[in-house]
Structure 1
Amino acid sequence: MKKLLSGIAVAAALVTGAAQAQDYPDQAITLVIPYGPGGASDLAGRALAESARKFIDQPITVMNKPGAGGMTGAGHVSKSDPDGYTLLLARVGMALTPAVNPQASVEWDAYTFLGALEATPMILAVKGDAPYDTVEDLIAAVKDSEGAMTYAASGATSIDGFTTQALLSDSDLDPLTAATLVPYKGGGALATALLGGHVDFLAISAGSLMPHIESGDMKPLMVFAPSRMDKLPDVPTADELGYEQAGQITGWSALYAPKGLSDEVVAKWDEILAQVATDETWLTLAERRGSISTVGEQDMPAYAKQQYELFNGLAKKFGYIE
């Protein structure tokens, strides 16, 4: 009798869950941004909330939950109920951090992957009056300097550290000694370091550099992105120039949910994101941020795995982890 009652309870729960999924959403959705207000991830998350709200019958509330390089917010979402009401504005750090830190609190695959949102290009840049007009010019100077040239990055195993190190490695140079990393915190400080002549070059997010490029104070040599930027149509991508490792690196945003999300809720977000992909608000705000919309263009589970394996492989190759 107990087994029968247990079976009835399980069946009832399944029916109730299916019904709830079909009614989704019937309450507000929280979109967790795992970094602070005002940054690239915050802007992307708020743009998604503004656009997706047109295609859904409930409000989307944005919650900034920074800390631990994005892992605090990521952990909060990964541990939430898989009901579709707590989602994550995921960034490249969700793949990079566990790839380079075996003690990371959240694994790269601890989610349901709802879809890609955007690529956020990185730009290799020098001062506007620097004597380098191409990547080849810069690499030749790096070789001649025997380690004396410097670049700015927020850390050796941050994405803006890997951009330069991958480029050096692709150029048959030692990624750790061919040029000297000078650490700074935040895109503004990194840009200021180059403008002030404290470093020779950098490869960081486009959002931090475009105002200085547009003013002529900086010169872009290459972009780390899946395609050329509309605002820099004459600047080639790393992939175009044949840099194999560097060509796989870019910033990105995606939409994640807790693991175990129902197929019905996943299907609902497939519908929503298909509409976001052509939404004028989304596309206009992406262009304003200097981003490239990738909604509907990536197999997100496969891409997240590829990004994890890329950074894990680079970290091992460069000696950061065993």
Structure 2
Amino acid sequence: MPSVLSNDDLLCNDADTLILQNIELVDIFSRKFALLQPLAFHRFPNESLIYHGYLGCSPLHPTVAISLCMLAAYRQSHRTCPWFSIQVQCKALCHLHNIPYQPYLNMQFLDAYDVYLEILHRVDSLIKAALKCDTQDWCLLNSCPCCCYKLDDEDDMTFEWLATIDGNNSLKRWSSSIYGTSPRDDLWTQCSDYWLHCTKVDQFQLNGAQPHVISNQQDPTDDWEDVVQSDSAPFNCIDHWRNAGPEACKCMFSVFEESGIFIVACRHWFILLVCDMVKSGEFSKYPLATLDHLLNVYGKNGGVAYNISCAFSKTLENSCLGPRTCELNL
């Protein structure tokens, strides 16, 4: 029985349709219009474009294509500097090519860049599957050979694993509804097992203790102050550390959809886990969620460093993880 072809299949199997006439090819230092002939086995226009080193800005009828070298260069630039946006990249290309900037250029570049990232992700997934590196928590168990791998007949250590945790508020993203406009939900999800999903983090929303209040009322934003040590009044770093301050000092984070990231790293500086801090400061749910995952994967006899461990140790003791941390000797 003959197969039924869709309109798209009929369109893409037409040889005349696959010929890319007068298509605009954009590279870092060049911009030209060209005629590209498809090969015999090409079924879609973007197959011909990728064969020539470009990626179209639309799936079936591309009129503009971005070079793979340009997309790769922007990916590395954006990884190095997350503030280097697509709009900035498009404006830079306009200056290099001596053309006026138009806002629609952002969408053209964005469409091609999204497809480029999806291609990289799928290729990477196939490679990991072939190498048997796609099992659950593979990155956490293999990121650092020094920490994760053990030799035969190796003696037990006092600390079987060590990690450090902390939050960073440099990677902020404004909420889309902050200017009174309709909120735009971000439907993208992380494709790496480095990331803890927000739903898992929110499970510890109500498990933490109440935040500590800074006793220094004159300057609640001051990190340090001179304290006279005495036997009757032992030094308490909780009262003098900004990160353990009251939540009133952190309410500004509500204007950000993402106020930063909370990371876990081993003692050799390899990243183990990452989670987004959403519309909040460094709440206790973030270290609680990361510690829960570390205990599930690494198990007993671990050690974790935290810059507000004095305050957080009480929160951890009063949380649902308290009995487990004692049992696993954290």
Short-chain TM bin: under 0.3
TM score, norm. by length of structure 1? 0.25
Greater percentage in helix: 1
TM score, norm. by length of structure 2? 0.25
Tell which has more relative contact order, 1 or 2 (C-alpha 8 A, sep 6+): 1
